[in-house]
Structure 1
Amino acid sequence: MYVGIDVGTSLVKAAAFDAAGRQRAVAARRVGLALHGGIVEQDMEEVYAAVVAVLAELTARVPEPVELAGLTGQGDGVWLVDAEGRPVRPAASWMDGRAHALLGRWLADGTFEAVFRRTGSAMFPGCPGPLLAWLDRHEPASLDAAAAAVYCKDMVFRRLTGAPAATDVSDASMPFLDPRTRAYDDRVVELLGLAHRRGLLAPVSDPIATAGARGEGLPPGTRIANGPYDLPACALGAGVTEPGDGLLIVGTCLAALVATAGLDLDGEPAGLHISTDRPGHWLRAMPAMVGTAALDWVLGTTGVAHEEVDGLLAGTPPGAHGVRVLPYFAPSGERAPFVEPRLRAELTGVSLESTRGDLVRATCEGIGYAARHCLDAAGLTGSLAVCGGGTRSPAWTRLLADVLGRPLRVVEGEVGARGAVLAAAERYGVALDVAAWTEPTAVVEPDPDRAAYYTEGYAEHLARLGAARERAARAGSPAAPRPVPGAGATPPKVLRPERSTGC
């Protein structure tokens, strides 16, 4: 048995695979997000307990011994730990918006672009650079108490194995890594005003770190490899490694990835270049802030169950009777294929005659247009694979093929966990049939007439988006979120989704 662990934003999963890559079993636990005034945090102890629980459940259900385990998880955010790997404070999520005002100043004074020109990665409020700088200004005691600022999977790996704090080149790509040297760029650290906090950056293990399990959730001595994080792990699990080929992850975030053998540090500062385990190869990534989370919000607001989506899409024509959605619902704005912390979602064309089906279809179409924008910006020229919770809807997958105007290689199952196993196997020298492990389960072709209709719709979407960005820029930076209140204040809201569609 080969085990892949995927520590997602709202769902922690562990999947078991046999030697041929067939998925044998999955165990999952939901974890909460605490939201307050644009601040989004997670309880690290809850996350780690969920990892241990799903591993214990999985190994109890599948009797074969564990050959090795691979670990992946959500990227970005700040996970401050002490010398023992224990949390210093709640983790600041990649969805966090507290640093948007700081990022706005960096956009205005040139710091943002200067960092992109050195790293190929465009910062956003929930990435470690702005978050660490915000904490240094507003919560320095937390940084003083921390031994390392790691990423989600790094915290889990440290606790599962007892290995020293470390990260890998994929997580380190945002925002401090020089993609050419695969090492931290100290000039970037200085530009962000964090030179005095340089010691908090976890050492980069290249190739990914390995260690034996201590016995929590997995048998003692089980071989584990740490990384890459969920986006490149999904690319590995979907077989996206050749330059020009791409992957669209339709999850909580809408992530477009294209494999490349070249760096473009001179283009528009947007997206990121994710370093991979192959020097000289990167993933040009456009990870939009909101994917299925936008649809989840619309479903919750209108009282529509997930099980009703396919029927509503089938009963509503392309164009949704004139209803349009710009799906930028994240409290921290958008980060790809452009950066605009002040951008917010827009719903137009609604009348008393509009139906729930119109709202659902318009949201799905808006997310599809956002995906096309990201893939175009990332330089897609080859085949396109898709995965993620959104692809569990056959009707939405067909809609995406029409909006994108190209065939979709659908990769089902726990793709990130699969990629984590393949990365672990490569690190440990275990021979697996990668082609068999990454075989698509279906290919969905676009309908020519609908694809032509959506090509026109995409041009209209870009025009509406351009106008919305101009309005956001004129509005200026909104007030910064306040810190999470202390004792006696209203507690932050904790979200526990009924169904995770996270990546």
Structure 2
Amino acid sequence: MYVGIDVGTSMVKAAAFDASGREIAVESRPVALDIRDGFVEQDMDEVYAAVVDVLAALTSGTAGPAGPAGVELAGLTGQGDGVWLVDAQGRPVRPAISWMDGRAHELLDEWMASGVFASVFRRTGSAMFPGCPGPVLGWLDRHEPKVLDGAATALYCKDMVFQRLTGVRATDVSDASMPFLDPRTRTYDDESLALLGLTHRRGLLAPVSDPVAVGETRGPGLPPGTRIANGPYDLPACALGAGVTRPGDGLLIIGTCLASLVATDTLDLEAGEPAGLYISTDRQGQWLRAMPAMVGTAALDWVLRTTGVRHAEVDALLDQAPPGANGVQVLPYFAPSGERAPFVEPRLRAELTGVSLETTKGDLVRATCEGIAFAARHCLEAAGLTGDLAVCGGGTRSPAWMRLFADVLGRPLRVVEGEVGARGAVLAAAERYGVELDAASWTRPTAVIEPDAGRAEFYTVAYAKHLAHLAEARRRGRGRGGG
């Protein structure tokens, strides 16, 4: 039995697989987000307890849902970005600051105006946003310096869990990619730290293990002595779990955030608008050009809550409303910290236009789903997609939305269902330990959805209108003193 652990933003999951990649069982537990006035935090002890709980439920001897098989090895992945401050024993010194947090937007505004933002991108290939470690550590250095003084490490989510499980203090090249890693040398870039005014906090950065760190579990959850590997974080783990490794091929993750990733063997830090990031992978000379947008299923969830529509009704409503949603348009930028890909606008906010007394719930739902799909197309184009496209995440549970995505993107979708991030974490662990697994079998798609030619043509025109609407919204935001 092989176990993958995925420590998500709102849900912690552990999945068991057999040697062929068949998903045997999954255990999950929700974890809370404390959201107030643009601050988004999480209780690290609650997150770790959820990890222990799902692992114990999954592997508790013959009574566990995975059956009597022993654990060959485990792989760990989880949400990226944010800051998870711990002491020398890996215990929290304050609540974790989530990647969704917006408190550092004014500091990011300063860096964008001064040129620091662009300079760091050209050195690291990482476009900062309010919830990434650079701005968050900068904010803490200004407002909570004593907390930083009392911390031993500023970790990422999965690194906190790994240290608690094994006692090993480490991160990997994928998590370190945002925003301090030089993707050419695969080490921390001291000049970027100096530009951000964080040289004196360099000691808080965890050692970068290249390849990923390994250890043996010593605490509850998994049997003591279980071999476990730390990383990569959830975006590159999903790419591995979906079989996206060939340059030009891409992955769209339709989750809380909308992540677009394209595999590449070319590193160009000078071209294009500073946005997204280059994620270093365990393979030298290979990266993922990533456009992890803040927009995602959270935007649709807000519209459903506001309109009183249940998730089970979404497919029927999408089928009832025509393409174009009877003139309703949605710019789906609902996150408190604005948007981070394929552009950075910390103050950008959502807009609903074309609404009248004749507008139906179906129009609002379809317009929102279309807006999210347009954002995906924008990100994938910016990331350089030229090959096949895989898709995974919670949004794939809606067949009607998947058809809409195929039409908007104008290309077939290789749907990969199940716990794709946990699957990728196991594949990364197997490679690190030299355990041979059939990657093609583990990453086989469950369906392929073809676009409708007529609707794809319609959406090509609608997408151009979306871009024009977005450009105007960005101009208005800057006029109000935005990023």
TM-score range, shorter chain: over 0.9
The offset of 1:477, in angstroms, is 4.0
| In structure 1, distance between residues paired with 2:281 and 2:469 | 35
Q: Deviations over 1:100-128 (max 9, x none)?
A: 01000100000000000100110000000
| In structure 2, distance between residues paired with 1:417 and 1:365 | 29
| In structure 2, distance between residues paired with 1:276 and 1:245 | 15
| In structure 2, distance between residues paired with 1:472 and 1:33 | 28
Q: Supply the RMSD in Å over aligned alpha carbons.
A: 0.7
CA contact (8 A) 1:246 1:259 kept: yes
**What is aligned with 1:259?**
263
**What is aligned with 1:189?**
193
**What secondary structure, in the 3-state scheme, does the structure 1 residue paired with 2:221 have?**
coil
**What secondary structure, in the 3-state scheme, does the structure 2 residue paired with 1:422 have?**
helix
**What is aligned with 2:47?**
47
Structure 1 residue 381 corresponds to structure 2 residue 386: yes
| In structure 2, distance between residues paired with 1:427 and 1:281 | 17
| In structure 2, distance between residues paired with 1:95 and 1:38 | 9
Structure 1 residue 178 corresponds to structure 2 residue 162: no
**What is aligned with 1:142?**
147
**What secondary structure, in the 3-state scheme, does the structure 1 residue paired with 2:222 have?**
coil
Letter of the 1:31 partner, please give it. Answer: V
**What is aligned with 2:468?**
463
**What secondary structure, in the 3-state scheme, does the structure 1 residue paired with 2:256 have?**
coil
**What secondary structure, in the 3-state scheme, does the structure 2 residue paired with 1:26 have?**
strand
Q: Deviations over 1:33-91 (max 9, x none)?
A: 00111000000000000000000111122121100000000000000000000000000
**What is aligned with 1:32?**
32
* Structure 1 unaligned residues grouped into runs of 5+: 479-503
Q: TM-score by structure 1 length?
A: 0.94
Of 96, 112, 115, which residue of structure 2 is paired with 1:110? 115
The offset of 1:322, in angstroms, is 0.6
**What is aligned with 2:254?**
250
| In structure 1, distance between residues paired with 2:58 and 2:451 | 38
**What is aligned with 1:485?**
none
Question: Greater relative contact order (Cα 8 A, min sep 6): structure 1 or 2?
Answer: 1
Of 234, 240, 254, which residue of structure 2 is paired with 1:236? 240
* Counterparts of residues 177-326 of structure 1 (less than 5 Å): 177-267=181-271, 268-326=273-331
The offset of 1:13, in angstroms, is 0.3
**What secondary structure, in the 3-state scheme, does the structure 1 residue paired with 2:123 have?**
helix
**What is aligned with 1:435?**
440
**What secondary structure, in the 3-state scheme, does the structure 2 residue paired with 1:464 have?**
helix
The offset of 1:142, in angstroms, is 1.0
Structure 1 residue 473 corresponds to structure 2 residue 478: yes
**What secondary structure, in the 3-state scheme, does the structure 2 residue paired with 1:32 have?**
coil
**What is aligned with 1:19?**
19
**What is aligned with 2:403?**
398
**What is aligned with 1:358?**
363
**What secondary structure, in the 3-state scheme, does the structure 2 residue paired with 1:409 have?**
strand
**What secondary structure, in the 3-state scheme, does the structure 2 residue paired with 1:277 have?**
coil
**What is aligned with 1:498?**
none
**What secondary structure, in the 3-state scheme, does the structure 2 residue paired with 1:96 have?**
coil
Q: Deviations over 1:2-25 (max 9, x none)?
A: 000000000000000000000010
Letter of the 2:420 partner, please give it. Answer: V
**What is aligned with 1:331?**
336
Letter of the 2:247 partner, please give it. Answer: P
* Structure 2 unaligned residues grouped into runs of 5+: none
**What is aligned with 1:481?**
none
**What is aligned with 1:166?**
170
Structure 1 residue 370 corresponds to structure 2 residue 375: yes
Letter of the 2:231 partner, please give it. Answer: G
| In structure 2, distance between residues paired with 1:218 and 1:283 | 31
CA contact (8 A) 2:345 2:482 kept: no
The offset of 1:215, in angstroms, is 3.5
Q: Deviations over 1:127-155 (max 9, x none)?
A: 00000000000011110110000000000
- For these two proteins, the number of residue pairs brought into alignment is 477
Letter of the 2:83 partner, please give it. Answer: V
CA contact (8 A) 1:101 1:477 kept: no
**What is aligned with 1:409?**
414
**What secondary structure, in the 3-state scheme, does the structure 1 residue paired with 2:391 have?**
strand
Q: Deviations over 1:203-253 (max 9, x none)?
A: 100000000111410000000000000000000000000000000000000
**What is aligned with 1:494?**
none
Letter of the 1:419 partner, please give it. Answer: G
**What is aligned with 2:138?**
133
Q: Deviations over 1:350-401 (max 9, x none)?
A: 1111111110000000000000000000000000000000011011001100
CA contact (8 A) 1:12 1:50 kept: yes
**What secondary structure, in the 3-state scheme, does the structure 2 residue paired with 1:382 have?**
coil
Of 97, 100, 104, which residue of structure 2 is paired with 1:99? 104
| In structure 2, distance between residues paired with 1:130 and 1:58 | 38
CA contact (8 A) 1:215 1:221 kept: no
**What is aligned with 2:6?**
6
**What secondary structure, in the 3-state scheme, does the structure 1 residue paired with 2:40 have?**
strand
| In structure 2, distance between residues paired with 1:358 and 1:159 | 48
| In structure 1, distance between residues paired with 2:165 and 2:313 | 40
CA contact (8 A) 2:252 2:392 kept: yes
Q: Deviations over 1:417-454 (max 9, x none)?
A: 00000000000000000000000000000000000000
Q: TM-score by structure 2 length?
A: 0.98
Of 446, 454, 457, which residue of structure 2 is paired with 1:449? 454
**What is aligned with 2:157?**
152
Percentage of pairs with the same residue: 79
| In structure 1, distance between residues paired with 2:295 and 2:82 | 15
